[in-house]
A = this chain, B = another copy of it.
Amino acid sequence: MAKKNLIVGQSGGPTAVINSSLYGVVSEALAHPDEIEHVYGMENGIEGFLNGTVLDFAEALPGEKLSYLQHTPGAYLGSCRYKLPESLEDPVYPELFRKFEEMNIGYFFYIGGNDSMDTVSKLSRYAERIGSDIRVMGEPKTIDNDLVHTDHTPGFGSAAKYVASTVREIILDANVYEKKSVTIIEIMGRHAGWLTAASALARKYTGDNPLLIYLPETAFDVEAFLKKVEEAFEKNCNVVVCVSEGIHDAEGTFICEYDNSVGTDSFGHKMLAGCGKYLENLVRERLGVKARSVEFNVSQRCSASMLSAADQQEAVAAGVFGVQAALKGETGKMISFVRQEDADGIYHMTCGLEDVNEICNEEKTVPLEWICNDGSDVTDDFIRYAKPLIQGKVDVPLGEDGLPVFVYRK
C-alpha cells in the first residue's frame, strides 16, 4: 500500500481517557512514517469533517505536548452526536469518500461508544461496496461500560474510580452527625448499571455504606425501597443509597418520571435527571428523617482527579493496537479487551478485534446473577470484576497556577 494519511475523530460524550486512546492512535501512527505520512484529527467528529475542520497533529501538538493528552479529560478534538443515514445510497457517503480521497486518507479511526461504532460500521460497509481500500477502525470509549464483545471499555475504570472514591468521601461526610439521615447519590447510567455498581467498591469494610445500591437492570419498587431503608437504619443511623439515573418500576416507568418532565437527546434517548431528588423528598415525607440527594453529574465522566492508571494504560494500548491492526490490513473492526488471569489470579488484559457490525447499537448490562438482596446490592463477583480496573494512580502535573495542566484547542 502506498503512503497514506490517517485521520482520527472522537464522538459521543467525553470520558477521562478518551484522549488517552487518541494519544495511542496518534503516537503509534507517527511511529510509522514509512506507511503513514500525515496524522490528521477531525474536529467535532464526522460532522466537523463534513464541514472541513481538520487539524494536523504535527502542528497542533508538537513534541512533548502530545503526551499531555494522556491526562487531559474531555475530548481534545471536540465531539458530535451525528448519526450517518441508514441507507448507504445517501449522497453523504460519496461526499465523504471524495473528501477522504482528496486528503489521501488510508486509515479512518473513530473513538466512541455504540453510536460511534454505528458510524464505523456504515463507513466500512460503504468502503467495501465501492471497493475502497480505506481501513475503518473503531476505538471503544464509554463510561457506561455497555459495549458487547469486550470485557470492559476504556473510560469505565476511571469513572468507576471517581464514583467509588467520591462515594467513600460522601460516606465520611454523611457520618459526621449522630442523627438519622439518608443520602441518595444518583449516578449516570440509563440502561446499564455498571457505574452505579462501582459504588460498592467504596465500602471500607463489610457492612459499610453504601447500604443500598439500585441498578436499572431490575425493577424498582418504591414501597420495598422504603422498607429497606428502615431496615438499614438498624446498621447505621446515616444511610447512604446509590441509585442509577435509569431506575424504573416493573411497568418500565422511570422513577424520575414520577414527578418530572423529561426530554430526548438527538439520538432519541430519554434525557433523565432527578430520581435522586424524587427519592430524597419521598424519604423525608414518608420516613420523617433528614434526607439529601447528590447528583454526580458531568464530573464522573470528565474528572482527571481520579484517573485509574490501569484504565489510562489500556486506553493507550487500545489505540496503539488499532493502528498496528489497520497497518496489517484490518478494517471494520473494534478493538476489544480480553481478560486474562495468571496462575496467581493476577489480572492481565490483552487486546482483540471484533466485527464492528456485531457491536454497534447493542448494549451490555450487568448480569442479573451479580445483583442480590432483592435488587438492592451487587455480589462479590462484581467486585472481583471491577477491582482490577480502578487500580493505580496517574500523576497529573500542576501548573504555576496550582491547577492541572491540560492541552486544548482554543
Chain A interface (Cβ < 8 Å from any Cβ of B):
10, 13-14, 44, 47-48, 72-75, 78-81, 161, 164-166, 168-170, 172-173, 175-178, 201-202, 204-205, 292, 294-295, 297-299, 301-306, 308, 387, 390-393, 398, 401-404, 406, 408, 410
Interchain CB contact under 8 A, A169 and B302: yes
A408 touches B175 (CB 8 A): yes
Question: Would B74 and A404 count as touching, CB distance under 8 A?
Answer: no
- Kindly identify which residue among B161, B173, B398 contacts A393, using a CB–CB cutoff of 8 Å: B398
Q: Return chain B residues, CB-CB under 8 Å to A205.
A: 410
Shortest Cβ-Cβ A-B pairs, 6 listed: A74-B172, A173-B302, A305-B305, A79-B176, A390-B402, A391-B402
Query: B302 touching A161 by the CB < 8 A rule?
Result: no
**CA–CA, A386 to B392, complex, Å?**
31
Closest to A183 in B: B298
Identify which of B177, B202, B298 contacts A173 (C-beta below 8 A). Answer: B298
Q: Looking at the assembled complex, report how far the CB atom of A212 sits from the nearest CB atom of chain B, in whole angstroms.
A: 18
In the complex, which residue of chain B has the Cβ closest to the Cβ of A301?
A: B173
Shortest beta-carbon distance from A198 to chain B in Å = 11
Question: What's the least CB distance linking A172 to chain B, in Å?
Answer: 3
**A161 in contact with B297 given A74-B169, A302-B169, A305-B306 (CB within 8 Å):** no
> How many copies of this chain does the complex contain?
2
Neighbouring B residues of A302 by C-beta, 8 Å = 169-170, 172-173
A147: shortest Cβ distance to chain B, in Å? 20
- A168 & B79 in contact (Cβ 8 Å cutoff): no
Cross-chain contact B298 with A297 (CB below 8 angstroms): no
Q: Report which of B78, B81, B168 forms a contact with A175, defined as CB distance below 8 A.
A: B78
Q: Is the Cβ of B201 less than 8 Å from the Cβ of A401?
A: yes
Instruction: From B165, B177, B390, give the contact of A305 (CB < 8 A).
Output: B165
Other-chain residue from B161, B166, B172 in contact with A14 (beta carbon distance below 8 A)? B172
Bound-state CA distance A231–B5 (Å) is: 41
Residue of B nearest to A43 (CB): B178
In the complex the two chains form, what is the Cα distance from A301 to B173 in whole Å?
9
Decide if B308 touches A172 in the complex (CB within 8 Å): no
Shortest CB distance A79–B (Å) = 4
Question: A73 is contacted by which of B169, B177, B402, B410 (Cβ under 8 Å)?
Answer: B169
- CB nearest neighbor in B for A205: B410
Contacts of A299 in B (CB 8 A): 166, 169-170, 294, 299
A78 interface neighbour in B14, B72, B177, B402, Cβ under 8 Å: B177
The residues of B that contact A165 with a CB separation of less than 8 Å are 305, 403-404
Residues of chain B within 8 A (CB-CB) of A178 are: 44, 47-48, 78, 80
Query: What's the nearest-Cβ distance from chain B to residue A408, in Å?
Result: 6
Given contacts A166-B299, A305-B306, 19 further A-B contacts (CB under 8 A): A10-B176, A48-B178, A72-B172, A73-B172, A164-B402, A165-B305, A168-B403, A168-B404, A168-B406, A169-B299, A169-B302, A173-B302, A201-B402, A204-B408, A205-B410, A305-B305, A391-B402, A392-B398, A393-B398
B398 touching A173, Cβ below 8 Å: no
Report which of B177, B201, B404 forms a contact with A44, defined as CB distance below 8 A.
Answer: B177
Cα–Cα distance between A202 and B403 once the two chains are bound (Å):
8
CA separation between A410 and B391, bound complex, in Å?
Answer: 25
- B78 contacts A408, CB within 8 Å? no
Measured CA separation A248–B47 after assembly (Å):
41
Assess A164 versus B44: contact at CB under 8 Å? Given A298-B170, A302-B172, A303-B169: no
Query: How far, in whole Å, are A224 and B314 apart by their CA atoms in the complex?
Result: 48
Determine the distance from Cα of A172 to Cα of B164 in the docked complex, in whole angstroms: 23
Which one of A81, A178, A408 has the highest number of Cβ atoms from chain B below 10 Å of its Cβ?
A: A178
- Nearest Cβ in chain B — how far from A307, in angstroms? 10
